[in-house]
Structures are given as C-alpha cells and as structure tokens.
Structure 1
Amino acid sequence: MARLRAPDGCPWDLKQTFDTIKPYLLEEAYEVMDAIDERNWPGLSEELGDLLLQPVFFAQMAREQGLFEISDALDSINQKLIRRHPHVFADGSAKTAEDVKVRWDEIKTLEKAGQGRDMPASILAGVPRSLPALVEAEKISHKAASAGFEWPDIGGVVEKLQEEAAELSRARAGEDPDHVEAEIGDLLFTLVNLARFLKVDPEQALRKTNARFRKRFEHVEREIANSGGTLSETPLARMEELWQEAKRFENE
C-alpha cells in the first residue's frame, strides 16, 4: 500500500481519502457476510482479504499524515482484549456469556472515565447512527431495555405490534405520506423488538428472507425462459404457480 501511495504510484490510490475509502469498508463487510451465508469458504477467504485491505489503506493514509501507525491500532485492540477479559488474563470471574458482556460494559465505562472523557448525555450515544437501520434499532432498543425501559413480557410487544398495525391502517386512510412513512417506521421498530424478545437477529433474518426470495424468483424466471416466454407476457397466476413450485423444491 505504501508503494501504491508513493508519488510515482497509482493515480487512483493516491487520489483517495478517508472519506472516499469509507464506503468500501461497508461494501466489503457485506460481501464477507454474503460468503458466510452461502457457506462459500474459498470465497470467504478472498473476501476477508478484501476487507482487511481497507484498514491497511486507512492506516497508510494515517501514517502519511502523522496520525498513527498500523501497529498502534493493533496494539490498542490487543490491550483492550486483555483488559476486557480479566476472567482469562487476570483473576476475574465470568461463568456465562452474559456475565462477560456485563463485565465488558463495566470495564468500558471505567476506561472512558479514566481517560477523562465525558460520559455521553444519553446511553444511546454510543450506538453509531451510521449502522444499518435494523441493527441500530436493535441496539438502541437493547440499551433502553438495559436501563429499565422495557415491556414486562413478549405479550406487551405483540400488543404494541397490533397497535402499530392499526395506526398504519388509519394513516393509509389519510392523504399524508409522511404520516404513513412514520407509521411504517414505528411498525418496523416494533418488529425489531419482537425479534429481540425472541432472540432473533432481525438483520440476519431479513437477509435470509431476501436470499429465499431471490432463489424462488430466479426459479420463476428460469422456468418461464425455458418455456420460451417472458415475465411481461406471463400471467400472474402462472408466476404464482412457479413460485409455489420453488417453495416445494426447498422442502424436498
């Protein structure tokens, strides 16, 4: 990377900044997730390399500006892992994964206080706004719940879901698209909380549904093409028949 960023290196690499490379970090992370979902282990190896390129790129730009070295970043995470796992590297105790999570958060709070960093005004401030919306919703819900702002049981979430669905129906009867958008957002947020109560990752659940939809729709396209037809010419009833056929194949 240092060679690519040298004065006589690659014009494209030389032109990049922290801001221009930032989108690639997210893109490569999602490609890693795709490889895992598909159980494509050779592909995962390749995608992990692509993902690792991004921090190397960031670190090289930081080095050029005298901000830090890549070794600083690696030392930082090594020390953090040691500090936050006292049950492994010291005389701490943690019997369950939940114990580890609680202790991790406690140590994180102490670290910030020790660095003289002001604690955020809100417990939600530590959740990045740049996260995918479903992930952000799950994390801020979990944070609020940890402070006691929580339904007593899953029945309360189901009631809230029904309430939000009814509010969306009423909003649809009006003529305010912003109101409809807000109610859809509320409904999605409540669904995320239902998933949280059921210990389901909403982002992963939706990714799997997307993958199933792709597979089924590709079956519809393929069968129509094999019969010499086109999607635009095919009646909806026929497409639905092929869709159900694809679902049956999944269960065989």
Structure 2
Amino acid sequence: MPKGQSKTDNIIQPLLTIMEKLRDPETGCPWDKQQNFKTIVPFTLEEAYEVADAIEQADFDSLPDELGDLLFQVVFYCQLAKEQGMFDFSTVVEKICDKLTRRHPHVFPTDSALVSAEKVKQSWDAIKQSEREQKQQFSLLADIPVTLPAMNRAIKIQKRVAKVGFDWPDLAPVVAKVHEEIDEVMEEAKHLNTEPEKYHERVVDEMGDLLFAVANMARHLGVEPEQALRQANQKFERRFRGVEVCAEQSGKSIDEHSLEELDAYWEKVKQQEKAK
C-alpha cells in the first residue's frame, strides 16, 4: 500500500462497480434493471429496521451484514441518480461531509465556547433552522419526511413545535389529554354497532388523536415510543409462544381452549418470567 494511503480510501469502489453491473442495460440483473427511486423505498425502510433490530437484539455478529444491506440501498439510489445525470455517490459523500463540518463548529472550530452537550445541541438546531430558511422552508415542519413511521414522525413534529414554546410545561396536562382522547374514542365507538359506516371514520380520527397524545406522553417521559412498542411486541410474542407451549402440553389444540384457559396460561407464563 502506498505511504499515506488508507486501506479504506477505495473500499467503496467494488460496491459501486457491482451496482453498475447490476443495472447494465444488456447484462444486468432483470430485477435490478426494473427498479426506480419509488420502488426501492420499501426495501430501504425494511433494511433500516433490520439494522435497528440487530442493535436492539445485541446481535453484533449480524450487524455488519445489516449495515451492508442498508449501504447498498444508498448506493442503489446513487446509481439511479447517476444514470439520470443528477448526482453520484461522491456527491452524497461531499454533501454529508459539508453538512457535518458546518453543523459541528465546536469540532471544526469557529467558536471555541461551544463545549457542552447542551450548547452543541442549541448550535445544531440554530444551524438547521438557518438552513431551512435558506431553502425557503418557512414552516417549522417543512422538512419532516412524510414517509417516517407515524409514531416517529409524531415525535419529530412535537419536538419541533416545542422549540417555539408550543408545548405543555409538565406531565399532568399531557396525561389529562390522553384521558380526554380515550373518552372521545369511546364516545364515537358507542355508535359502531348501530351505524358502523357512519362512525368508523370518526373512530379512526379519534384513535389517531389518542395515539398522537400517547406519543406526546412518551416524549415527556423521555421514552422513544417506537422502540417501546417494538419491545412490547417482542414481549407479547415471547409470552404468547409460552401460552402455545402450555396449550400443547395440555393435549388440546390452542383453538380448543376457552379464553379463560388461555388467560390462565398467560398469567402462568408471566409469573415464570418474574421468577427468573
């Protein structure tokens, strides 16, 4: 290796070359050649979630593979853009390097006083706000992606408006709002049996308000709701698998059990977990 050259200097080039070959009009992969910006978005979201899942499961042996899959998504977008004469991978690298340098004046110094984490965050927010204004994005909410998971987007919206004081000062009114929204859901739900078509959309609307309020409560408690819900999903799945084991041991199929019997299994599994 030449002196002064890092082994990572050209490490991305083989991946870029593979991507070009996959998209080759004559010899490329039929599936890859059919894709466009919109069609690969669902795969990008899926890969991002798989990275998050590997981290949450502490599966660090799998994490390099998952990060590679996510990086491939970035390279795919860059290849599509390169084919259309818009930008390429080097443009993306230049953009993020410029942004990180611009948003970290405490590291790439223009102001040595920016040393605390809080000051760093304040500086970051101020720089982002300036960038939004330069892009003529006059709404505080203009650059929050609509494709984010709904719970994550709710948190981003709430954090953004809180910066200008549009927020409750403590937890009590937040909790009261959750109870208020529950009451409003139940008020509309009372009519579902008699007029389902008329009231279904009203219930959907009120449930949306309730979920938004719950996200706000999580934010005030310092809880990431998307992560908390994933953990709840995992816990439910683990316990229900325990219920299935209990049902199998009883000699009856699970659908032959009454709800009371299944509830008893559920409580048994919960107690077993607590005893560990």
TM-score by length of 2: 0.85
- Structure 1 window deviating more from structure 2 (94-103 vs 48-57): it is 94-103
Match of 2:53 in 1: 34
Confirm or deny: 8 A CA contact 2:185 2:207 kept in the other structure. Answer: yes
Distance in structure 2 (CA, Å) of the matches to 1:66 and 1:59: 10
Distance in structure 2 (CA, Å) of the matches to 1:233 and 1:32: 39
Report the aligned-residue RMSD.
Answer: 1.6
Match of 1:56 in 2: 75
**Which residue identity does 2:73 align to in structure 1?**
Q
Match of 2:207 in 1: 184
Note if 1:47 corresponds to 2:103.
no
Where do 5+ consecutive residues of structure 2 fail to align?
A: 1-18
Note if 1:148 corresponds to 2:165.
yes
State the shift of 1:111 in Å.
Answer: 3.3
The counterpart of 2:145, out of the listed 128, 143, 146, is: 128
**Which residue identity does 2:141 align to in structure 1?**
L
Match of 2:101 in 1: 82
Q: Describe the SS at the equivalent of 1:181.
A: helix
**Which residue identity does 1:96 align to in structure 2?**
S
Instruction: Give the 4+ runs in structure 1 shifted more than 4 A.
Output: none
State the shift of 1:109 in Å.
Answer: 2.8
Confirm or deny: 8 A CA contact 2:137 2:143 kept in the other structure. Answer: no
Match of 1:3 in 2: 21
Q: Describe the SS at the equivalent of 1:89.
A: coil
State the shift of 1:227 in Å.
Answer: 3.8
State the shift of 1:230 in Å.
Answer: 1.5
State the shift of 1:91 in Å.
Answer: 3.5
Match of 1:170 in 2: 187
The counterpart of 2:254, out of the listed 228, 231, 235, is: 231
Q: Describe the SS at the equivalent of 1:86.
A: coil
- Measured against aligned partners, the alpha-carbon deviations of 1:141-176 in whole angstroms (never above 9, x if no partner) come to 111111111112111111112211222222222341
When the two structures are aligned, how many residues end up with a matched partner?
Answer: 249
**Which residue identity does 1:225 align to in structure 2?**
E
Where do 5+ consecutive residues of structure 1 fail to align?
A: none
- Structure 1 window deviating more from structure 2 (239-248 vs 71-80): it is 239-248
Distance in structure 1 (CA, Å) of the matches to 2:103 and 2:229: 32
Q: Describe the SS at the equivalent of 2:267.
A: helix
Confirm or deny: 8 A CA contact 2:178 2:213 kept in the other structure. Answer: yes
State the shift of 1:86 in Å.
Answer: 0.5
**Which residue identity does 1:133 align to in structure 2?**
A
Match of 2:129 in 1: 109
TM-score by length of 1: 0.92
Match of 1:100 in 2: 120
Confirm or deny: 8 A CA contact 2:22 2:33 kept in the other structure. Answer: yes
With over 3 angstroms needed to count, the CA separation of the structure-2 counterparts of 1:119 and 1:20, relative to structure 1, is: closer
Percent identity over the alignment? 45
With over 3 angstroms needed to count, the CA separation of the structure-2 counterparts of 1:112 and 1:183, relative to structure 1, is: closer
Confirm or deny: 8 A CA contact 2:54 2:63 kept in the other structure. Answer: yes
Match of 2:10 in 1: none
Match of 2:7 in 1: none
Distance in structure 2 (CA, Å) of the matches to 1:144 and 1:202: 18
Distance in structure 2 (CA, Å) of the matches to 1:212 and 1:12: 37
